[in-house]
Amino acid sequence: MQTQTNNKRTVVVGMSTCNIAAGAQEVYDLCRKTVEEKKLGVEVRITGCLGMCYAEPQVQIVEADGTRSLYCDVTAQRMGKIIDEHVVGGVPRAQWIAKYDEGETKDLMGKQRRIVLANCGVIDPEKIEDYLAVDGYKALRSVLEEKNPDKVIDALVKSGLRGRGGAGFPTGMKWKFARAEKGPKKYMICNADEGDPGAFMDRTTLESDPHAVLEGMAIGGFATGADEAYIYCRAEYPMAIARLYKAIAQAEERGFLGRNIMGLGFDFVIHIKEGAGAFVCGEETALMASIEGRRGMPRIRPPFPAQSGLFGKPTTINNVETWANVPWIIRNGWEAFAAMGTEKSKGSKVFALAGKIKRGGLVEVPMGITLGEIIHEVGGGTGTNRKVKAVQMGGPSGGCVPAELFHTKIDYDEVTRTGAIMGSGGMVVMDDTTCMVDIARYFLDFTQLESCGKCTFCRVGTKRMLEILTRICAGKGEESDIALLEDLAKQIKTTSLCGLGQTAPNPVLTTLRYFRHEYEEHIRDHKCRAGRCRSLCTFTITDACTGCLICARNCPVSCITGEKKTMHVINQKACIRCGVCRDFCKFDAVVVG
Amino acid sequence: MTIDLARVDAIVARKGEGPEMAIPVLQMIQDEFRYVPIEAIEHIAKTTQMTEAQLYGVATFFAQFRLTPVGERIIKVCHGTACHVGGAVGLTEAIEERLGVKTGENTPDMKYTLTSVACVGCCSLAPVVMIDSTTYGRLDRKKSVKVIDDLES
Ligand SMILES: Cc1cc2nc3c(=O)[nH]c(=O)nc-3n(C[C@H](O)[C@H](O)[C@H](O)COP(=O)(O)O)c2cc1C
Ligand code: FES
């Protein structure tokens, strides 16, 4: 047995929800166990998510001089080898380590500019010392020492920071309105409801760098004159909530939150409220209703939250990512932030890449780069021999931007021009196996379920749209259906009170704009070219088949026959058209007929 | 079914009696009983400032609250956008077949409840299934069935 007690290397295991879903818990447990049993005297720490979810679980070995080796796709078995060879033996396993200056990792990281994600996957989110070591709470201290709220607001206005929760409202202006209101009681809210399915930057930020959000909120509280705040976090994020509780307790203990912060006379307390599963509660007035203990139904604005918000008091509400930008802007100056981006969209934006993309995960890029650069260069395209067909941006309020428009710049106004919206930054990439009518149907199913029911057109109109889309997907569409969809879309948009209804038709409108032929094919030719709508497709095996048996082995209804090395055949009568054979085929031998 | 109302009282005593506490109180009730028994709502309405209408209204508005008992384990299949594109429909079919129930139902032995969820924030590992508070990623039909088989063994 080895008894090396002064090994200066540190093992850092990525422990975020995504890392754990990929198997990090096993890696971490093995690591602790080995270090203890062999008395290696090595420190084992945790960190959040680096954004490279496609290569998780990840482990970093940090040398005494601070250099880091990033191991990707670590399994418990590999971890054992890494400990023996690298941690104990001092010999890194080069082929498992990501190299930042070449290949895939360079493509991924080269175009990124990290502000919000700077500490994610680097520091230990459960240790305030780590945050302090990277200049944490310095921005808050400088603001409290200067005692000039107007200057803070001025900096925010000049930075050009716009809300990252979807609508892109200038943050500095919002603060200015709240500051102008009479006190003494004002509130601050952090919107961590992250309802857009396909977006996960808020979860990652809260799990990986919670103090940055707390510090941003305290700065905002000081600037607007609020002394109490709520973080409204969706209940589906248990780890984010747990880390927030820990972070708040540590910050209070150190005097960065609570009464008389840093002895500088400012009080600021933060509470956590768990959401209870309603997409509409991401909308600010619905969110406040639910904090007050009511059904989360939006109300008419004005009055805006800045005038009459939570419990009828002036309230400033911003998104997680917006808050996380604030300390950086104060520390580095508004000029540095405003130097990045386009004329009207400054700074950087975090995007969540998912769907048919090679390097799925989180990336943070400067505003102004193109969609194509993000998807093809940073994200690596589909990673298969299929082509990217479109990217869905902005979730249920957004739309599908076709590959032909990938020259579009990341800029609030430019993206809006495509019919999609910047939204919170979810990007779900689609290839030719995704049916655009089915995607539109999927989103209407979502909004129809999530509509709070207050406005008739949103409540009933979305349901009618869903019915039409469902029948088109079932091959029962009628020629007049497209016009009917367009008419309903217009009416829902103009007669809904909140953003949910006003934007619910967007997924239908953008797919109709760019993929109308797919709707027409469904209706006229009873054909789904993507092979998703089961009533409208068949699968057949071509002579590209090598007889590898993979499809036959994975077919859930065992309807594929064939010997090894001979062409396989699908029994069309038994086939349920699930497409599993196509997903598994490595030779593109399964085609949609 | 009758429930132990003293447990309800303890929760109210911990969380508070004001109307703004409706959601946290119901969340804790659900943690305690694993669903929100209607008797608990009636009892809270009698003993606090919250009304039956408010509590029932809230409990039926938010997707999180369940008014009927659930199985020992709750399996949530993610039907967010990324998971949908990644084949959540197929996963659901496979799991439904494995458990012999449809989404929204409990298995007869009350071991499992199968439900769906709209994104658990692990979209880059889609398709994803969450069982209690553990998330399983990069699944397909076979792997999702294996996850359940592994729980059994
Ligand atoms: C239906 C609907 C859902 C929303 N969901 C969210 C959400 O999940 N997270 C969020 O930050 N903002 C969401 N918003 C936007 C908020 O109403 C609000 O504009 C935002 O929190 C303001 O913060 P920001 O200026 O920092 O973006 C949603 C809006 C609507 C209409
Ligand atoms: S879409 Fe399934 S985890 Fe986000």
- C-alpha torsion sign, points A263, A268, A273, A279: negative
Predicted confidence band of residue B1 (pLDDT cuts 50, 70, 90): low
- Ligand 1, atom nearest to A286 Cα: 17
Q: What are the tens digits of pLDDT across the range A553-577?
A: 999 999 999 999 999 999 999 999 9
Alpha-carbon gap: A157 to the closest alpha carbon of chain B (Å): 31
Ramachandran sector of residue B51 (left: φ over 0; alpha: ψ -120 to 50; beta: rest): beta
Q: Is A472 inside any structural domain? A: yes
Go through the domains of chain B in sequence order and give each one's CATH number.
Answer: 5-61 (no CATH), 73-152 (3.40.30.10)
Q: Is A450 inside any structural domain? A: yes
CA–CA separation, A294 and A443 (whole Å): 26
- For an interface test with B, the pick among A234, A236, A239, A445 (most B C-beta atoms closer than 10 Å) comes out as A236
3-state secondary structure of A461: helix
- For an interface test with B, the pick among A120, A353, A428, A578 (most B C-beta atoms closer than 10 Å) comes out as A428
Rounded mean pLDDT, A235-249: 96
Q: Which residues in chain A have Cβ-Cβ distances shorter than 8 Å to B122?
A: 17-18, 21, 53, 200
Whether A4 has a pLDDT exceeding 60, the answer reads no
Q: Is A5 inside any structural domain? A: no
Average pLDDT, chain A: 96
A408 and A517 share one domain: no
Put simply, whether B17 touches A (Cβ < 8 Å) is no
Predicted confidence band of residue A209 (pLDDT cuts 50, 70, 90): very high
Can you give the pLDDT at residue B57?
A: 96
Ligand nearest to the CA of B126: 2
Q: Which residues in chain B have Cβ-Cβ distances shorter than 8 Å to A275?
A: 64
Q: Is A532 inside any structural domain? A: no
CA–CA separation, A510 and A392 (whole Å): 10
Q: Domain holding A309: CATH number?
A: 3.40.50.11540
Q: Please, is A115 exposed, middle or buried when counting C-beta atoms within 10 Å of its C-beta (0-12, 13-18, 19+)?
A: buried
Per the DSSP assignment, residues forming a β-bridge with A592 are: A539
A207 and A269 share one domain: yes
A275 and A132 share one domain: yes
Q: Domain holding A580: CATH number?
A: 3.30.70.20
A294 and A205 share one domain: yes
A225 and A318 share one domain: yes
Task: Pick the residue whose CA is nearest to atom 24 on ligand 1.
Answer: A163
Nearest residue on chain B to A432, alpha-carbon basis: B85
Q: Domain holding A21: CATH number?
A: 3.40.30.10
Q: Is A3 inside any structural domain? A: no
Is A34:A83 a contact under the CB 8 Å cutoff?
yes
Note down the domain range covering A456. 436-525
Q: Please, is A133 exposed, middle or buried when counting C-beta atoms within 10 Å of its C-beta (0-12, 13-18, 19+)?
A: exposed
A149 and A208 share one domain: yes
Rounded mean pLDDT, A338-356: 97
Whether A102 has a pLDDT exceeding 90, the answer reads no
- Which of A53, A276, A352 lies nearest to residue B62, judging by beta carbons? A276
Rounded mean pLDDT, A448-463: 97
Q: Do A21 and B137 touch (CB under 8 A)?
A: yes
Of A19-28, A93-102, A149-158, A486-495, the least confident: A93-102
Q: Please, is A123 exposed, middle or buried when counting C-beta atoms within 10 Å of its C-beta (0-12, 13-18, 19+)?
A: buried
Q: What are the tens digits of pLDDT across the range A418-447?
A: 999 999 999 999 999 999 999 999 999 999
- Ligand 1, atom nearest to A498 Cα: 31
3-state secondary structure of B136: strand
- Domain count across chain A: 5
Which domain-ending residue is among A290, A306, A337? A337
Per the DSSP assignment, residues forming a β-bridge with A69 are: A61
Rounded mean pLDDT, A103-111: 90
Whether the link from the prior residue into A302 is cis, omega within 30° of 0, is yes
Per the DSSP assignment, residues forming a β-bridge with A350 are: A364
Is A524:A536 a contact under the CB 8 Å cutoff?
no
A383 and A412 share one domain: yes
Cβ(B60) – ligand 2 distance below 6 Å: no
Q: Which residues in chain A have Cβ-Cβ distances shorter than 8 Å to B51?
A: none
Whether A3 has a pLDDT exceeding 70, the answer reads no
Whether A593 has a pLDDT exceeding 90, the answer reads no
Q: What are the tens digits of pLDDT across the range B85-127?
A: 999 999 999 999 999 999 999 999 999 999 999 999 999 999 9
Is A320:A169 a contact under the CB 8 Å cutoff?
no
Can you give the pLDDT at residue A2?
A: 40
Predicted confidence band of residue A315 (pLDDT cuts 50, 70, 90): very high
A544 and A513 share one domain: no
Alpha-carbon gap: A174 to the closest alpha carbon of chain B (Å): 26
Put simply, whether B135 touches A (Cβ < 8 Å) is yes
- Which of B94, B125, B130 lies nearest to residue A53, judging by beta carbons? B125
Residues touching ligand 1 (Cβ under 6 Å) are A 163-167, 169, 191, 193-195, 280, 282-284, 317-319, 322, 424, 498-500
Q: Do A276 and B117 touch (CB under 8 A)?
A: no
CA–CA separation, A432 and B67 (whole Å): 42
Q: Is A449 inside any structural domain? A: yes
Q: Is A296 inside any structural domain? A: yes
CB contact burial A284-300 (16+ within 10 A = b; e otherwise):
bbbbbbbbbbbbbbbee
Backbone angles phi, psi at A11, to 5 degrees: -100, 125
Q: Is A305 inside any structural domain? A: yes
Distances (CA, A) of A466 to A397, A469, A472, A498, A514: 15, 5, 10, 20, 19
A395 and A425 share one domain: yes
Which domain-ending residue is among A499, A525, A551? A525
Can you give the pLDDT at residue A7?
A: 65
Distances (CA, A) of A316 to A179, A291, A311, A347, A526: 9, 14, 13, 21, 51
Alpha-carbon gap: A41 to the closest alpha carbon of chain B (Å): 31
Residue A236 neighbours by CB under 8 Å, 6+ apart: A277, B117, B119, B120, B121, B130
d(CA A191, ligand 2 centre) in Å: 19
Rounded mean pLDDT, A264-288: 97
Backbone angles phi, psi at B114, to 5 degrees: -105, 125
Q: What is the Cα A51 distance to its own chain's centre?
A: 10
Q: Can you spell out the DSSP letters for A225-246?
A: T--EEEEEE-TT-HHHHHHHHH
Q: Name the amino acid, one letter, at B81.
A: T
A147 and A296 share one domain: yes
Q: Which residues in chain B have Cβ-Cβ distances shorter than 8 Å to A277?
A: 62-64
Cβ(B82) – ligand 2 distance below 6 Å: yes
Q: Domain holding A367: CATH number?
A: 3.10.20.600
Can you give the pLDDT at residue A104?
A: 86
CA dihedral A282, A283, A289, A293 (to 10 degrees): -10
Q: Domain holding A506: CATH number?
A: 1.20.1440.230
| Relative orientation angle of helices A210-224 and A201-208, to the nearest 10 degrees | 100
Which domain-ending residue is among A283, A312, A337? A337
Nearest residue on chain A to B85, alpha-carbon basis: A355
Tokens of A410: 């990341």
Q: Do A354 and B137 touch (CB under 8 A)?
A: no
A179 and A292 share one domain: yes
A292 and A192 share one domain: yes
